[in-house]
Amino acid sequence: MTKNKKLLAWLDEMVELNAPDKVVWIDGSEEQIEELRATACKTGEMEKLNEEMLPGCYLHRTAINDVARVEGRTFICTTEREEAGATNNWMSPKETYEKLYKLYKGSMKGRTMYVIPYSMGIVGSEFAKNGIELTDSIYVVLNMCIMTRVGNDVLASIGDDGDFVKGMHSRADMNEEERYICQLPEDNTIMSVNSGYGGNVLLGKKCFALRIASVLARDEGWMAEHMLILGIEDPQGNVKYVTAAFPSACGKTNLAMLIPPEYYASKGYKVWCVGDDIAWLRIGEDGRLWAVNPENGFFGVAPGTSEKTNPNALAATRKGTIFTNVCHNLDNNTVWWEGLDKNPPEHAVDWKGNPWNGKTATEKGAHPNSRFTAPAVNCPCLSKEFNNPKGVPISAIIFGGRRAKTAPLVYQSRSWQHGVYMGSAMASETTAAASGAVGVVRRDPMAMLPFCGYNMGDYFAHWLEMGKKIPNPPKIFNVNWFRTDDEGHFIWPGYGDNMRVLMWILARCEDKIGAQETAIGWLPNPEDIEVEGLEGIDTETIRGLLSVDADLWKQDADGVEEFYKKIDSVGNRMPKELYEELAGLRERLGK
């Protein structure tokens, strides 16, 4: 398979530790994948869905207590506590190895260990990085084969002495109390145990492409971010690209695949998806910031995905897709989730595996964090640059979150440094993507709170540093699709209509449109947000969506200060520039 000594030595050690009955190398061939699907169906790990309606699609249910990322059990394991910072759980590498090796010991007896060579990015390309995941879960193997580029060509690219990120995953006995997701950036190693769910076990995704990669990026002068990447093509065929960082389940997949409203579509505008979750950004030879999507598929939130909200995502799930924790429609052996349509099946099985009738049910059929794992090639609006190893040049970086009040529909930063402040001050209501309470506002800087592999103060410093290094940096914006009225309804229609805001952003990037200077940054003139074709929304509604309540913003500034102090409490590494930006904002808001 390989002569790579480091790889073979590590594999030997892990085989001895976990004691699997068998070791199988994943070669990336369709034959092997098909065999694994058949095995998973035989054991009940997956169910094959209707081959006519959903060809090559499967359903999987995780354990009921294992349905989301577990932030409380996710650790950054560095020699010094200061390296991990105040916003991460910390354990020393020594303690981590001791604790997890005990849990791994003999955990694969009677099972098979799969060895998955995978690449984040185009295999062998300059910006790609390789990993090996060891796992006892066929579900993980099949998901990794969709989400990343897997197989023998990756082994070839690692070569005899190439480097790779080590990823060890064992379901062990699925004991929730002993569940750990550990990142060891000093050893380029990830260890995950006692979970079988998405972000906890598909180690190429959050663990590698964000937590480990953010450390590599800091050291090597690039950025690993929780961002979608999309392109907007004008009627002349020019495409401009933007990235956007929204917290988990706050609309990245939806924005990345948006369908332009008729007003723009009829003029010939198109939107292309390059990525929906992770962006690796580097400074290009032309002095601009370039982004690649290191993934090869979409691990998207199912509920709320419909023909109306996101037809492109829905289309992407119609073949070769794995559904996790959705509702199983027994009448036609397909899947259903809340928000798919208004016809919940009456003869169904819910995400917990219990009989479910959509007519009488009081509980949800699909878990709020149920997901689809769909190959990127299925997406009708996939960018033709998707496989371009150089990526795409970025005109704007957009931050955003769920804020019922406070944040306006859109505003622009005063400078890169102020933009970094805006990202650092992001807050959003929590969602079902992580276990714990939903709907609580918390700070989530750059949507990276759960994913930054090092001290958040250093992370902000890295952003400031990048701003100095990029000769022609993207402009920075903040958006909020989630403002509510007094009854708690979203005011802005969102989804495809978010294009109207993107168009203002692009016009600003090209200096084609004016804006009003305010205490918080540059706000649109309300009449510059196109409302033609929108029902019940006029320029007055936009004026309301753009309003800034100085009192709320002063309160928010207090929250930011508290958060900065918390970050400073471990290592004192908050850049002074951000305290200055905070002081400047308070000054402009008026005392």
Choice between 100 and 302, CB closer to ligand GTP: 302
- Note whether 417 and 577 are within 8 A (CB): yes
Q: Is 528 in the site for ligand GTP (CB under 6 A)?
A: no
Q: Which of 479, 472, 367, 379 is nearest to 423 (CA)?
A: 479
- Rounded to whole angstroms, how far apart are CA atoms 305 and 322? 15
- Rounded to whole angstroms, how far apart are CA atoms 25 and 525? 58
Least distance from C-beta 137 to ligand SPV, angstroms? 15
Beta strand pairing call for 22-25 and 112-120: parallel
273 included as an active-site residue: no
∠117-101-170 over CA atoms, to 5°? Answer: 45
Binders of ligand SPV among residues 275 to 304 (CB under 6 A) are 277, 299
Binders of ligand SPV among residues 56 to 85 (CB under 6 A) are 69
Q: Which of the stretches 30-38, 138-146, 197-205, 357-365 binds ligand SPV when contact is defined by CB under 6 A?
A: 197-205
Q: Is 444 in the site for Mn ion (CB under 5 A)?
A: no
Residue 435's binding partner, choosing from Mn ion, ligand SPV, ligand GTP, none, with beta-carbon cut-off 5 to 8 A by kind?
Answer: none
Q: Which of the stretches 124-132, 233-241, 244-252, 515-523 binds ligand GTP when contact is defined by CB under 6 A?
A: 244-252
Q: Which of the stretches 99-107, 302-310, 461-469, 560-568 binds ligand GTP when contact is defined by CB under 6 A?
A: 302-310
Least distance from C-beta 25 to ligand SPV, angstroms? 25
Among 136, 276, 277, 581, binds Mn ion (CB under 5 A): 277
Give CA 155 to chain center in angstroms: 26
∠455-459-461 over CA atoms, to 5°? Answer: 115
The phi-psi region of residue 249 (left if phi > 0; otherwise alpha if psi is between -120 and 50; otherwise beta) is: left
Q: Is 498 in the site for ligand GTP (CB under 6 A)?
A: yes
List the structure tokens of 482: 């989630």
Here's the x/- map for ligand SPV, 425-444, by CB under 6 A: it reads as --------x-----------
- Rounded to whole angstroms, how far apart are CA atoms 426 and 417? 15
Residue 96's binding partner, choosing from ligand SPV, ligand GTP, Mn ion, none, with beta-carbon cut-off 5 to 8 A by kind?
Answer: none
Choice between 181 and 470, CB closer to Mn ion: 181
Q: Is 295 in the site for Mn ion (CB under 5 A)?
A: no
Number of residues this chain uses to bind ligand GTP (CB under 6 A): 22
Choice between 162 and 493, CB closer to ligand GTP: 493
Choice between 130 and 430, CB closer to ligand GTP: 430
Beta strand pairing call for 189-193 and 165-170: parallel
Among 28, 198, 260, 375, binds ligand SPV (CB under 6 A): 198
Beta strand pairing call for 279-283 and 289-292: antiparallel
Give CB contacts under 8 A, 24+ apart, made by 8-13: 10/132, 10/166, 11/115, 11/132, 11/134
Q: Which of 250, 273, 379, 509 is catalytic?
A: 250
**Range 162-189 burial, b when 16+ CB lie within 10 A, else e:** eebbbbbbbbbebeeeebbbbbbbebbb
Q: Is 199 in the site for ligand SPV (CB under 6 A)?
A: yes
List the structure tokens of 123: 């295999």
Residue 254's binding partner, choosing from ligand SPV, Mn ion, ligand GTP, none, with beta-carbon cut-off 5 to 8 A by kind?
Answer: ligand GTP
SS3 per-residue string spanning 190-226? EEEECCCCHHHHCCHHHHHHHHHHHHHHHHHCCEEEC
Among 20, 198, 251, 450, binds ligand GTP (CB under 6 A): 251
What one-letter code names the amino acid at 103? L
Residue 304's binding partner, choosing from ligand SPV, ligand GTP, Mn ion, none, with beta-carbon cut-off 5 to 8 A by kind?
Answer: ligand GTP
Choice between 250 and 394, CB closer to ligand GTP: 250
- Rounded to whole angstroms, how far apart are CA atoms 36 and 60? 14
- Chain residues binding Mn ion by CB under 5 A are 248, 277
- Chain residues binding ligand GTP by CB under 6 A are 246, 248-254, 276-277, 300-301, 303-304, 309, 433, 481-482, 490, 494-495, 498
Please list the active-site residues: 250
